[in-house]
Structure formats: structure tokens, C-alpha cells
Amino acid sequence: MINKESVQFNDIAIGIIWLFHISGIVGILYGDSQWFVGATPLNLILSFVLLMFTSRKEPKVYWMAAIAFLVGMVAEALGVNYGIIFGQYVYGDALGWKIVGVPWLIGVNWAILTICCAAIAANLAGHILSRIFLGIGLMLLLDAVIEPIAPLLDFWEFTGGMAPTQNYIGWFLTALPLHLFYHLFKVEIKGTFTHHLFLLQIVFFTILLLQINTLQNAL
């Protein structure tokens, strides 16, 4: 039997993230762009809290989030401080407080993306290898969309301006064990919140990318 209360809350949670992301697009391009970019940490925290709450009936999701956070933070720290894994880059100030040069919210973002992409892949593919590679592919797709505008948003910037091929190889190698663990651990997330959250991130950054000239003038 479907729990009507859970369905109602999930719908409310989906509505909230749509409101925040659409408001962010309009605000960055046509409003107080600095304020809305500065609100990025709030948006990430809210998305993570809602993801955890809508997935609360699957206790394994908390372990998965913790593992993805730690793996992501370690990989990013190695990248920022030693130039390995992703290449030479540095984080800006838009994502807030940093640990050894890496915003702690980047670890949160690794948790969000891993869980969302793995959950979508689990719904679309049957074989574990197909799920793993589809999930990683979705993460790489989002990263590819974000990279060109990340410096403008003061998220991060690579030496030379463009993300090198090493960045995408690093993403693949870092995400691989996370997705493998997700499916071997048999995390099962019900509902479509993960789908909406990932779709919104794709839409959000794609629109900003398509409006990059407006974005440059706004910032």
C-alpha cells in the first residue's frame, strides 16, 4: 500500500527544488546575480537534506552518502593540493568554507550526484555493469556542462582555463568504486526525487551555459 503522507511530502520536496532552481536561473541571469550565486551553498544543503529525507526508508542511503562524501573530499584534496586525479585547479569562494582548499560542500555534492545518478541508472538499466557505466556517464555529462561556466560562478578554475581530459578520467575513476559499491550494497531508493534533482541540475547549468554571454555581463 502506498503511504499517502510520503507521496505528499515527496511532491512537496520536488516542488521546493524546482522553485529554488528556477528562481536561481532567473535571479542569476536577470536579477541580483551576486546574491543568487552566493546562495549556492543554501541550495546544495537544502537539496541534500531533502534527498536524505525523501530516502529515509532506505537506511543504506546514509552510509552511501557518507562514503561518497569522504571519497569525494579525499579525491578533491589530492587534486587541489597536488594536481593529481583531476589536474591543476583551485576552488573559488562561492561554495563556502574549505577544508585543505576544498569546500566541504563539494563532498556533499559528490554524495548528491552519486546517489541521484546511481538511483536513475538502477531504474533504467538491468545489469549491474550497465547501471554502473550509465550512472558514471550521467555524472560526467553534468560535469561537462558545468566546467565552462564554473570559473564565471567562482566555483573553481583550472590552470589554463579549460578542464583537461585528465579531469574527466579522474571523475570516472573516482566515481567507479562509488557506483560499484552502491549497487553491490543494494541501495534501493523509491520515488522520483532523485530524477528531478538531477534533471534540474542539468537544466540549470545548461541554461546558464547557453546564456553564457548574459552570464558574463551579469557577473
Number of domains into which the chain is organized: 1
Question: What whole-number distance in Å separates Cα of residue 160 and Cα of residue 147?
Answer: 13
Each residue's pLDDT tens digit, 15-51: 999 999 999 999 998 888 889 888 899 999 999 999 9
**In the prediction, which pLDDT does 160 show?**
87
DSSP bridge pairs for 98: 103
More confident: 213 or 143: 143
User: Angle at the Cα of 203 (from 133 to 29), degrees rounded to 5?
Assistant: 145
Burial of 214: CB neighbours in 10 Å, binned 0-12, 13-18, 19+: middle
**In the prediction, which pLDDT does 5 show?**
54
**In the prediction, which pLDDT does 4 show?**
56
Residue 1 has pLDDT above 50, yes or no: no
Residue 90 has pLDDT above 60, yes or no: yes
Residue numbers of the domain that contains 121? 4-218
- In this structure, of 6-15, 41-50, 204-213, the range with the lowest mean pLDDT score is 6-15
Q: Hey, what amino acid is at 187?
A: V
Long-range contact set of residues 84-87: C-beta below 8 Å, sequence gap at least 24: 85/166, 85/170, 85/173, 85/174, 86/166, 86/167, 86/170, 86/171, 87/158, 87/159, 87/163, 87/164, 87/166, 87/167, 87/170
Average per-residue pLDDT for the chain: 92
